[in-house]
């Protein structure tokens, strides 16, 4: 090889090396996450369990990251409006989604032509909590237990109505499971938010609502509504005298409200790992753990892979319920 060729080759290799170093530096610079505000989309109006999950974690992460974590409520069409926005968002880690049972695992089988697939276009980051639902009734309702409710509802087919914050939500599906297991004929009345639903329930325009504990407890303590049962296999420590639905004669009845962070598919793995690690750390703090466990909410430490496995198992469970109940989207 001629001297001039050797010099040219050396120059080329040297330049490539510098470019390689620059590339490595750039990758590390880009992983300085977050360097600007992060948006957490919630697919329902403020006040529900998903909103509580999002704000609780976002407040702590804002302090940790020294960057705003902005909760953006985008309600509509059983959570599909907000879910679609999250699924189509830029996958740079600056748009996250607080996903729950309905919008992640159920809408995709309950609704046609969603225009997105949350099981493919959103990736699990971390499970935040898994909570019981409380079956509520008007304070002056003539039934005080799930068993009494079932007895009266059977005697009046088509006359009992229950509310939900949308088709496919955990509250709706719990009522569907109750109706299926107890052979009840009830009317589903969907609402756009918890507030209007609670008002109608208090006024006796609805006979029942499977509510998140966070929305239910103030109404129960204030004597405005009463609890008939809880949807977990064990009673809530904060409501020890309220039996489980399973105790009312539906063995195995267990439907919970879980919520976790998701990110658009393709979000960098290091960003997902950091969020997972930091949220697990935040949830392990005594203040938050006490608050969550006070509502009998499980707060399991989990990896993205473990959360993904759980989401898949929930998808199988609820897809079976939708099929068994021949559930159709109510327009």
CA 183 to CA 62: how far, in whole Å? 48
CA distance 318 to 232: 16
**What's the rounded Cα separation, in Å, for the pair 207 and 141?**
8
Q: How far is CA 303 from CA 126, 187, 307, in A?
A: 7, 40, 6
Task: Copy the structure tokens of residue 52.
Answer: 């509580």
| pLDDT value of residue 22 | 35
C-alpha separations of 209 from 42, 215, 228, 299 in Å = 21, 11, 10, 25
Which pLDDT does position 113 carry in this prediction?
84
Supply the pLDDT for residue 60: 95
Q: Which domains does the chain have, with CATH numbers?
A: 38-130+256-324 (3.40.190.150), 132-248 (3.40.190.10)
> What is the reported pLDDT for 295?
65
- Which stretch of DSSP H or E encloses residue 211? strand 208-212
pLDDT at 291: 78
316: enclosing H helix or E strand: helix 304-324
Q: Which residues of the chain are modeled with pLDDT < 50?
A: 1, 3, 6-7, 9-30, 331
Spatial distance between the Cα atoms of 320 and 293, rounded to a whole number of angstroms: 30
- Identify the pLDDT of residue 14: 41
How far apart are alpha carbons 158 and 187 in whole angstroms? 6
H/E stretch holding 281 reads helix 269-283
Q: pTM of the entire structure?
A: 0.76
> Quick check: helix, strand or coil at residue 225?
strand
The b-or-e profile of 91-109 (16+ CB within 10 A means b, else e) is bbbbbbbbbbbbbbbbbbb
Closest CA relative to residue 265, chosen from 114, 110, 113, 96: 96
Q: Confirm if 223 and 199 have CB atoms less than 8 A apart.
A: no
pLDDT score of 175: 97
The tens digit of pLDDT for each residue in 95-133 reads 999 999 888 998 888 888 889 999 999 999 999 988 889
- What DSSP string runs through 7-62? HHHHHHHHHHHHHHHHHHHHHHHHTS--SS-EEEEESS-TTSHHHHHHHHHHHHHH
pLDDT at 329: 66
Beta bridge partners of 119: none
User: DSSP per residue over 90-146, as a string?
Assistant: -SSSSEEEEEEHIIIIIHHHHSS--SS-HHHHEEEEEEEEEEEEEEEEETT-S--SH
Can you give the pLDDT at residue 23? 34
Residue 83: in which H helix or E strand, if any?
helix 80-87
Backbone phi, psi, residue 140, to 5°: -100, 15
């Amino acid at each position: 090889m001629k001297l001039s060729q050797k010099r040219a080759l050396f120059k080329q290799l040297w330049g490539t090396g510098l470019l390689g170093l620059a590339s490595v530096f750039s990758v590390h610079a880009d992983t300085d996450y977050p360097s600007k505000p992060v948006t957490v989309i919630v697919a329902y109006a403020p006040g529900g369990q998903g909103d509580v999950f999002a704000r609780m974690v976002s407040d702590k992460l804002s302090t940790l990251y020294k960057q705003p974590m902005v909760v953006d409520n985008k309600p509509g069409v059983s959570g599909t409006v907000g879910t679609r926005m999250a699924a189509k968002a830029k996958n740079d880690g600056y748009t996250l989604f607080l996903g729950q049972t309905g919008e992640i695992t159920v809408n995709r089988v309950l609704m046609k032509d969603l225009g997105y697939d949350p099981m493919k276009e959103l990736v699990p980051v971390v499970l935040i909590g898994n909570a019981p639902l409380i079956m509520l009734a008007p304070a002056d309702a003539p039934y005080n237990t799930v068993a009494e409710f079932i007895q009266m509802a059977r005697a009046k087919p088509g006359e009992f109505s229950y509310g939900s914050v949308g088709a496919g939500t955990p509250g709706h599906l719990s009522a569907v499971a109750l109706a299926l297991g107890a052979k009840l004929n009830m009317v589903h009345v969907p609402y756009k938010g918890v507030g209007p639903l609670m008002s109608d329930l208090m006024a006796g325009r609805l006979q029942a609502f499977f509510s998140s504990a966070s929305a239910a407890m103030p109404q129960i303590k204030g004597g405005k509504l009463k609890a008939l049962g809880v949807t977990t296999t064990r009673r809530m420590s904060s409501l020890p005298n309220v039996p489980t639905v399973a105790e009312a004669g539906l063995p195995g009845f267990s439907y919970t409200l879980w919520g976790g962070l998701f990110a658009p598919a393709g979000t960098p793995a290091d960003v997902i790992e950091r969020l997972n690690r930091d949220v697990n750390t935040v949830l392990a703090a005594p203040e938050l753990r006490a608050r969550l466990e006070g509502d009998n909410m499980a707060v399991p430490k989990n990896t993205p892979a473990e959360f993904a496995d759980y989401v898949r198992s929930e998808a199988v469970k609820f897809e079976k319920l939708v099929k068994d109940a021949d559930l159709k989207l109510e327009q």
